[in-house]
Structure 1
């Protein structure tokens, strides 16, 4: 399991496997200390899994020389315990020779200046045009399709961060027009936003918070209101996952709803209003959530279905609006109406939206269970389970299925349908271990 997605994304961007990175770092260590390094692929694996959260000093400096960013930007965390071998104020052990340390650090700083992202003189920098961005645009479309298919996974998150790194590379080493520069910032924000969404969908708020700040910074530099709307929507969902975060979630959803993108295009207004309705319902504002979902429906009817829009909003159609309406109805306790919306959603979802189908199928099972129909609910929930190991039992869908499992065993503990469900559910959970 990958815990350090920042290191993984830098490795992905550089095309480095674990053994290859170990070899490169050993060369850095030899160049900086005069003695060969002894890193192996197992050390890299320990960093990626989080087993080692703060490498030794020479290893950190080699990493910083290789990737030209601080160790913290590679996902490593300074130890905070008193009396540990390395303190936040000093990244070397007390017994280390200070003269050797200064020589080692100076060499690392000098070497990092010519590492991954050198910035040549303007006269020698390559001119970057819109045509140079085609590869990144295609990659973004592919990531969106992968998200629709499998949902937020660590692999998706890592790849998105790697492509964000590529976009920032071009900003650092090329010359370009204002239009191209804005587009690169937009792509960097969009890729980082996809990593943010993957972490939110995977219900990993600690990772998501780091992505949000970087994505919003890039979005502001891009001057694109559509990407800011997307990010504030993700921020609302992220805040709502945190205990006590509903006030922040409401504020973020309101910012998205007031975006210039909503004024320009009713489809964006519809989407932002539907997301706001979900947060209002979660916060207990039933009347406000019903008003917002009605605003979303009216705006959707005004939207031009043939207008050109970014790939990330492509999922939002009549079926998705019904799905978000179902979320609202479920949260305010109107489960029969939620079920009706969900049947329309599942009947209208396009084939590529596998993640959403599983999510809304699990939601339908819960709506049926809340109406006292355990056998029907069980049959629905069984259809949401994967036939083999996948990420379907993690993240938001996994939480819904866990809620269903607890609700079913409480409502009908001795029923045959409960036994059938439990056997399948336990088997699928075992496949995740």
Structure 2
């Protein structure tokens, strides 16, 4: 907790739209411009997960000064310009005394501020404020300095709502659980922002590392989210954001349970999100909850339920105006039809998914769909053909999925390659299957996913009779000696 010597935070200032940044985007959609930002980041070996919502927050003036990673990317994209030229406020005016001291220090590392007397709890960025977490979140890509002030103040004040917001923490994981014995205060838009940020960070860490190491740590921020709902808010807009954020967080935690093999937990979390969506009339959240429910039903061996949930999601999502969302939901339906061995139904759903995907991105695409690109389309189609027993076709799509995947989605690369290994093994190509399986094993130091480990175990069983084939014995030996990840409870 911060000491009483911490200087007070700057008073809240009204937001001003960043018109300069909006002009730089030109005729591109926020999603298209976000893709350019991510591409520019890769050019300089930087890591950001920019999406349409982040661009919207910048243009709305919510982010008055970007973090250091985004600063390097923006200056790379627009050489010769300063942050001020891009419409941002000077860092010193946003962050106060601590920032000015850093900018005046000639030896300060430009990529990450060094420790100084200004880095005491409550001064400067949240990442330095919570020092024990400093090395555990190298992917802090959506963090802006005004939100740091919000979360820091949450730790410095009492009350159920503020402590709940603090429980969302810089990693999206709890540092302190909500305290019911403290007087409950009304939640604010800052608390809603902290909740939305927690959802982004959980998704980002899952993309890179898989679910097994994250699931149990994500339970406390979910409780904190519902504590914020119980606290209530004075403005209806804030109440709506809190409900939406809590529902999205429930889905994210449900996915962590799903991917780590805890299907009953996942079903409960998805049902909670669905109830929240229906209670508030949030059709986007309802579509997302049905989407994940369909995916879970397929994996849990309930294909008819998968079809029904996917069709329900499509009915809810149709007025939202996102072809990409409708494409993903058609793929969820195709997976259900494949589980029912209905090849015709599967092929029809796949054709709809491809046609809808070809319409491209729109501003109506939900933020959570940032993972859904051509690689995911290929990967989900591969799973359908695999379920139908068409191994050569499944392997072809799985190989394309792995080749197309953005390198920062480490978990998905491992997933698609594991799918490829299994399809090759079952299709009578043991040497290629073993090579693919070895590539997955090499990624398991970075990824913890029970689903991927289960797939590899199945591949190993199929390859056992072929242990004399080239490379197969190497795969089997390495697989047998690789420690298993977190075991589902």
- The alignment's TM-score, normalised by the length of structure 1, stands at 0.66
Residue 423 of structure 1 pairs with residue 477 of structure 2:
yes
Q: Which residue of 2 aligns with 1:377?
A: 433
Q: Which residue of 1 aligns with 2:311?
A: 254
Q: Distance in 2 between matches of 1:175 and 1:263?
A: 27
Q: Which residue of 1 aligns with 2:451?
A: 396
Picking from 348, 361, 368, the partner of 1:312 is 368
Q: Secondary structure at the match of 2:305?
A: helix
Picking from 346, 354, 372, the partner of 2:402 is 346
Q: How many residues align?
A: 311
Question: Which runs of 5 or more structure 2 residues have no equivalent in the other structure?
Answer: 1-159, 161-177
Picking from 325, 332, 339, the partner of 1:282 is 339
CA contact (8 A) 1:229 1:261 kept: no
Deviation string, structure 1 residues 92-113 (Cα, Å, up to 9, x no partner)? xxxxxxxxxxxxxxxxxxxxxx
Residue 163 of structure 1 pairs with residue 221 of structure 2:
yes
Q: Which residue of 2 aligns with 1:214?
A: 272
Deviation string, structure 1 residues 203-235 (Cα, Å, up to 9, x no partner)? 211222322332222222332222222211222
CA contact (8 A) 1:405 1:422 kept: yes
Q: Which residue of 2 aligns with 1:363?
A: 419
Q: Greater Rg, structure 1 or structure 2?
A: 1
Deviation string, structure 1 residues 34-76 (Cα, Å, up to 9, x no partner)? xxxxxxxxxxxxxxxxxxxxxxxxxxxxxxxxx9xxxxxxxxx
Q: Which residue of 2 aligns with 1:138?
A: 197
Q: Which residue of 2 aligns with 1:329?
A: 385
1:323, CA displacement in angstroms?
1.1
Q: Distance in 1 between matches of 2:436 and 2:307?
A: 32
Q: Which residue of 2 aligns with 1:148?
A: 207
Deviation string, structure 1 residues 244-293 (Cα, Å, up to 9, x no partner)? x2222221122122223565211110010011111211111111111101
Q: Distance in 1 between matches of 2:290 and 2:181?
A: 30
CA 354–290 in structure 1, closer or farther in 2 if over 3 Å, else same: same
Picking from 227, 251, 264, the partner of 2:321 is 264
Question: Which runs of 5 or more structure 1 residues have no equivalent in the other structure?
Answer: 1-66, 68-113
1:150, CA displacement in angstroms?
1.6
Q: Secondary structure at the match of 1:302?
A: coil
CA 295–306 in structure 1, closer or farther in 2 if over 3 Å, else same: closer
Higher helix share: 1
CA RMSD of aligned residues (A): 2.5
CA 192–241 in structure 1, closer or farther in 2 if over 3 Å, else same: same
CA contact (8 A) 1:369 1:408 kept: yes
Q: Distance in 2 between matches of 1:388 and 1:228?
A: 33
Paired residues for 1:68-217 under 5 Å: 116=180, 125-126=185-186, 128-153=187-212, 155-217=213-275
1:389, CA displacement in angstroms?
5.0
Q: Distance in 2 between matches of 1:291 and 1:431?
A: 38
